[in-house]
Amino acid sequence: MGNVVVVGSQWGDEGKGKIVDWLSSRADVVVRFQGGHNAGHTLVVDGTTYKLSLLPSGIVRGSKMSVIGNGVVIDPWALKSEIKRIRDQGVHIGPDALLISDTASLILPIHGELDAIRENRADGVKIGTTRRGIGPAYEDKVARRAIRVCDLADESHLRERVDNLLHHHNALRIGLGHDAVDAAQLTQKLLDIAPSVLQFAGPVWHHLDEASRAEKKILFEGAQGAMLDIDHGTYPFVTSSNTIAGQAAAGSGMGPRALNYVLGITKAYTTRVGEGPFPTELHDEIGQRLGERGHEFGTVTGRQRRCGWFDAVMVRQAIITGGIDGIALTKLDVLDGLAELKICTGYKLNGKIIRRFPAGMSNQAAVTPIYETMPGWSGSTQGARSWAELPAEAVKYVRRLEEATGCPVAVLSTSPEREDVILIRDPFKG
Ligand code: IMP
């Protein structure tokens, strides 16, 4: 039995919630290691729907330890209200159930404001962010001026940290035509919220080391997807963290050998929210149909997701950069009833055929997909729990995705219900 990392292999929203929930029911510890409350995971447990943004999915299953690692950026006010909302649904959340890294960086109101100021600029590059302040918070972390969870426990130190932070931010705000922020007021706001966070704070790396020595099963829960990774994604139309599995180690304080199996959640077609290149995007009635049948609306922002054909070139790249061992294929049933299906297996760029997604922004926007066409199926895949229940064309489609991406399907999900899964390989058994 080893530890499992679950990551998205496309642009997020691959349906991680259901798979993570299914795996977390078998894990002892569930760890978030990057991102923040830009993520949105919907879990349906025993008929109750839980919407989580920052809290690890294990929280809704009693007797698990849920951990927010140092790689996550935490908005303390959003955390407090999410804890209240989930507690109101009858879930116990105490320091025995939730541990937050004392070295995680905080998202402050100035970060959300700066995110919105940039996104609202008429002449700038619009990323289409979730406006949660994720990017500006990570900028401050890397620039070594962030306020971290541990700073909340020391008032005089906190005042110094806030002064240092505002030295930078107020110059920026005034330059952008906005009011300066009062240091005393911001410090007080932080002191007021501090107990809500500090009651859960501790050395995550130490706890995970102990859990590991006690042979507990650890599930690392990624957010967003490989193509939104700050290094390997469609830069600059990405989120501000590393979303690939390697970050599970750095973002939690465990060594890379603790990551035994990487499961890449992969949708049977492609979606994206926000701006940026999307070679296989469909602007026709098929794209609309995928969006409707797949309920493709963002959990966090409610925005409509862009939809398109499966892009095997991109997923193959995600598998390589992320070290994905097996795919959990989701939402196959959304393709039920389509006469034919297309899979992108290469691109054309300036008259040449390429098999990799290029690096530059203009080349990424200029590629056109090369498609393979496969017959669709008229039967239903919904709720199938064995290969024998799938139409032959659906099996062929899945097999072709495996070949084209170079990665086996370990889990096939055939409906939003937890039990509607075909398990080919148990990720916890490696
Ligand atoms: P940010 O993470 O709010 O800075 O947004 C940067 C980009 O990542 C935007 O294109 C967002 O739409 C996208 N993004 C952030 N979080 C998610 C997510 O959980 N699912 C899908 N896309 C996301």
pLDDT tens over the chain, length 430 residues? 689 999 999 999 999 888 998 898 889 999 999 999 998 888 888 888 899 999 999 999 887 899 999 999 999 999 999 999 999 999 999 999 999 999 999 999 999 999 999 999 878 789 999 999 999 999 999 999 999 999 999 999 999 999 999 999 999 999 999 999 999 999 999 999 999 999 999 999 999 999 999 999 999 999 999 999 999 999 999 999 999 999 999 999 999 999 999 999 999 999 999 899 999 999 999 999 999 999 998 777 788 999 999 999 999 999 999 999 999 999 999 999 999 999 999 999 999 999 999 999 999 999 999 999 999 999 999 999 999 999 999 999 999 999 999 999 999 999 888 888 999 999 998 7
With a 6 Å cutoff on the Cβ, whether 135 touches ligand 1 is yes
CA–CA gap between residue 264 and residue 138 (Å, rounded): 25
Residues 6 or more apart whose Cβ sits within 8 Å of residue 320: none
Under CATH, domain 26-101+203-261 is a member of which superfamily? Adenylosuccinate Synthetase, subunit A, domain 1 (3.40.440.10)
Helix (H, G, I), strand (E, B) or coil at 342: strand
pLDDT (0 to 100) of residue 124: 77
Q: How far is the CA of 13 from the centre of ligand 1 (A)?
A: 10
Amino acid sitting at position 93: I
Amino acid sitting at position 15: G
Total residue length of the chain: 430
Q: How far is the CA of 234 from the centre of ligand 1 (A)?
A: 12
**Residue nearest (by alpha carbon) to ligand 1 atom 10:** 274
What residues are labeled active site? Answer: 13, 41
Tokens of 85: 């909302």
Pocket test for ligand 1, best of 16, 54, 224, 243 (most atoms within 8 A of CB): 224
CA–CA gap between residue 166 and residue 155 (Å, rounded): 16
With a 6 Å cutoff on the Cβ, whether 271 touches ligand 1 is no
Nearest-5° angle of CA 300, CA 303, CA 307? 115
With a 6 Å cutoff on the Cβ, whether 134 touches ligand 1 is yes
pLDDT (0 to 100) of residue 372: 98
pLDDT (0 to 100) of residue 303: 83
Task: Specify the CATH number of the domain 105-197.
Answer: 1.10.300.10
With a 6 Å cutoff on the Cβ, whether 241 touches ligand 1 is no
Pocket test for ligand 1, best of 230, 232, 239 (most atoms within 8 A of CB): 239
Peptide bond into 279 cis (omega under 30): no
Contact 295, 44 (CB under 8 A): no
With a 6 Å cutoff on the Cβ, whether 107 touches ligand 1 is no
Pocket test for ligand 1, best of 53, 129, 139, 275 (most atoms within 8 A of CB): 129
Contact 235, 135 (CB under 8 A): no
CA–CA gap between residue 173 and residue 363 (Å, rounded): 34
Contact 428, 2 (CB under 8 A): yes
CA–CA gap between residue 174 and residue 232 (Å, rounded): 34
Instruction: Report the run of H or E that residue 296 belongs to, with start and end.
Output: none
With a 6 Å cutoff on the Cβ, whether 409 touches ligand 1 is no
Integer angstrom CA distances of residue 45 from 48, 267, 420, 428: 5, 22, 14, 21
Instruction: Report the run of H or E that residue 407 belongs to, with start and end.
Output: none
**Residue nearest (by alpha carbon) to ligand 1 atom 19:** 39
pLDDT (0 to 100) of residue 62: 81
Helices 134-142 & 109-120, crossing angle to 10 degrees? 120
Give the residue extent of every domain in the chain. Answer: 26-101+203-261, 105-197, 267-429
Q: How far is the CA of 227 from the centre of ligand 1 (A)?
A: 10
Q: How far is the CA of 159 from the centre of ligand 1 (A)?
A: 32
With a 6 Å cutoff on the Cβ, whether 116 touches ligand 1 is no
Contact 278, 306 (CB under 8 A): yes
With a 6 Å cutoff on the Cβ, whether 139 touches ligand 1 is no
pLDDT (0 to 100) of residue 1: 64
Nearest-5° angle of CA 72, CA 170, CA 185? 75
CA–CA gap between residue 102 and residue 149 (Å, rounded): 5
Distance spanning both ends of the chain, measured CA to CA: 7
Tokens of 322: 């992320």
With a 6 Å cutoff on the Cβ, whether 240 touches ligand 1 is yes
CATH top class, domain 267-429: alpha beta
Pocket test for ligand 1, best of 140, 228, 364 (most atoms within 8 A of CB): 228
In 3D space, the residue among 212, 216, 206, 241 whose CA is nearest the CA of residue 226 turns out to be: 241
With a 6 Å cutoff on the Cβ, whether 228 touches ligand 1 is yes
**Residue nearest (by alpha carbon) to ligand 1 atom 12:** 274
CA–CA gap between residue 157 and residue 305 (Å, rounded): 43
